[in-house]
Amino acid sequence: MAIELKMPALSPTMEEGTLAKWLKSEGDAIVAGDIIAEIETDKATMEFEAVDEGTLGKILVDEGTEGVKVGTVIAMLAGEGEDASDIEAPVQDAAVEDTPGEGKDVGRDPSEAQITKPARKTDVKDPEVPEGTAFTATTVREALRDGMAEEMRADERVFVMGEEVAQYQGAYKVTQGLLDEFGPKRVIDTPITEYGFAGIGTGAAMGGLRPIVEFMTFNFAMQAIDHIINSAAKTNYMSGGQMRCPVVFRGPNGAASRVGAQHSQNYGPWYASVPGLVVIAPYDAADAKGLMKAAIRCEDPVVFLENELVYGRSFDVPDLDDYVLPIGKARIMREGTDVTIVAYSIAVGLALEAADELADEGIDAEVIDLRTLRPLDREAILTSLAKTNRLVIAEEGWPTCSIASEVMAICMEDGFDHLDAPVTRVCDEDVPLPYAANLEKLALIDTPRIVAAAKKVCYRD
């Protein structure tokens, strides 16, 4: 059977090209690998290589022809036992671009197209804490450790790796005691090699384990962000759901104290912008423990953002055997009716202080801790907005393209009718964090700024 030689697409964007030169003539024998013609695209001159064997029959497009559409039959090739001079040129189909079974839009009528976003779970609540449950004052640092240790006891596949997590007991002591209980197989000290160990952790998750990868701080995870995003977040999708990656990347995030610009950044908005990741940023100890346990059990890759300045703060944690919190649910930290303050991580503490001060001035603020940054609990934000009609976002991080920006967009898109004042954000100043004590203080979010913003949206300034 004669073979049609068609104008090839030689780059992802090529639609037409110039048939610059024929290097074979009618009647020439062709073997696979022979260069038959030279074709010019907008970028380069490329060689058109034969794939099949045979004899070159009719040349249908002369050399020097410009604007030859991809897919046009340019010559015929006679197969074994055929007479090359005897081949009919095919009848050209005018509409070659979208022939069923051969075009780019094959098989689907555009009218069929429907984008169906998955429904969010709405019926999930924090577990009941039965009346009479005892509470223990626990630091966030201990709560994180307790959460990890409980999951390590329950599931042999869970292990921790990172710099100084084992013998040193953790650079910030979050992994204190884990080496003693679980041994070096499950508490692994790595060299200082973030890109490498983030990749190894991610690969181990693909191989069926449940790694907890500690970054000494998330600033250092910049060297490893390729694995967090390209390897961990995208592979399940790219594999059509075959490749699971249940890894937890955790460590302190955001500004610490007087460590300068390279060690002081909030990566919440970065990771929260990536489909395929779950991003958690708890504030208090009970949430830190309950969400850490949920993160480890999660089938998806989780970025778990802690805060160094909060590690040492103590909060009550319920003495329950298995306290696991739902991912993707915000928490009302304080109920109020006049204004909503949305916050996460360290800013929740500032928002609660601001609410106390506002109460003294007769303003009843509701404080919402987002807890999970992706997926974001839109419903909780909008429900509170419908109640208070005024909303301030407090975020320890830069303002541009922030979680605050996202919350504002949600309020504009779906809460516009409830707004009695413009949504206002209180963030860090838009500068690299300075070292000098006075400048650092000026750059970071604080309680008075949140109070001022709340008063402004209540038209009380």
Partner 1 sequence: MAKAPRSKKTAPKSPAEDSEFALHSLQDAFEQDSRFKASKEQLLDFYKQMLLIRRFEERAGQLYGLGLIGGFCHLYIGQEAVAIGLQSALDGDKDSVITGYRDHGHMLAYGIDPKVIMAELTGREAGISKGKGGSMHMFSTEHKFYGGHGIVGAQVSLGGGLALAHQYNDDGGFCLAYFGDGAANQGQVYETMNMAALWKLPIVFVVENNQYAMGTAVGRSSAETEFHRRGTAFRIPGMDVNGMDVLEVRQAAEIAFKHVREGKGPVLMECNTYRYRGHSMSDPAKYRTREEVQDIREHKDPIEAIKKVLLENGSTEDELKAIDKEIRKTVTEAADFAESSPEPEPGELYTDVLVGEY
Q: Restricting to residues 362-381, which ones interact with partner 1 according to CB under 8 A? A: 372, 375
Among 81, 94, 95, 116, binds partner 1 (CB under 8 A): 116
d(CA 30, CA 77): 9
Which span sits near partner 1 by CB under 8 A: 38-46, 82-90, 167-175, 384-392?
38-46
Question: How distant, in Å, are the alpha carbons of 333, 366, 404 from that of 387?
Answer: 15, 10, 20
Q: Quick check: 102 binds partner 1 (CB under 8 A)?
A: yes
Q: What share of the chain is helix, strand, coil (3-state, %, to 5)?
A: 30, 20, 45
Q: Quick check: 125 binds partner 1 (CB under 8 A)?
A: no
Among 29, 137, 154, 238, binds partner 1 (CB under 8 A): 238
Which span sits near partner 1 by CB under 8 A: 199-207, 303-311, 396-404, 419-427?
199-207
Decide whether 173 or 244 has the Cβ nearer to partner 1: 244
Q: Quick check: 9 binds partner 1 (CB under 8 A)?
A: yes
Q: How far is the CB of 161 from partner 1 (least distance, A)?
A: 9
Residues 300-319 touching partner 1, rule: CB under 8 A, are 300
Decide whether 228 or 453 has the Cβ nearer to partner 1: 228
Active site includes 227?
Answer: no
Q: Is there a contact between 377 and 246 (Cβ–Cβ < 8 Å)?
A: no
For 416-421, the CB contacts below 8 A with 24+ separation are 418/382, 418/385, 418/386, 418/389, 419/385, 419/389, 419/390, 419/391, 420/389, 420/390, 421/389, 421/390, 421/456, 421/457, 421/458, 421/459
Q: Quick check: 72 binds partner 1 (CB under 8 A)?
A: no
Residues 241-260 touching partner 1, rule: CB under 8 A, are 241-244
Residues 17-36 touching partner 1, rule: CB under 8 A, are 32-33, 35
Q: Is there a contact between 451 and 357 (Cβ–Cβ < 8 Å)?
A: yes
Residues 141-160 touching partner 1, rule: CB under 8 A, are 159
CA-wise closest residue to 391 among 432, 336, 446: 336
Task: DSSP letter for 445, please.
Answer: -
| Cβ count near 120 (within 10 Å) | 12
Please state the length of the chain: 461
Q: How far is the CB of 265 from partner 1 (least distance, A)?
A: 22
Task: DSSP letter for 389, please.
Answer: S
How distant is the alpha carbon of residue 453 from its chain centre?
A: 30
Q: Quick check: 123 binds partner 1 (CB under 8 A)?
A: no
Q: Quick check: 430 binds partner 1 (CB under 8 A)?
A: no
Catalytic residue among 163, 214, 263, 396: 263
Q: Quick check: 60 binds partner 1 (CB under 8 A)?
A: no
Q: Quick check: 200 binds partner 1 (CB under 8 A)?
A: yes
Active site includes 418?
Answer: no
Place of tokens 């058109």: 48
Q: Quick check: 196 binds partner 1 (CB under 8 A)?
A: yes
CA-wise closest residue to 79 among 20, 29, 122: 29
Among 60, 209, 259, 419, binds partner 1 (CB under 8 A): 209
Q: How far is the CB of 288 from partner 1 (least distance, A)?
A: 18
d(CA 376, CA 109): 34
Place of tokens 């009716």: 337
Q: Quick check: 220 binds partner 1 (CB under 8 A)?
A: no
Among 58, 227, 250, 425, binds partner 1 (CB under 8 A): 227
The catalytic site residues sit at 194, 263
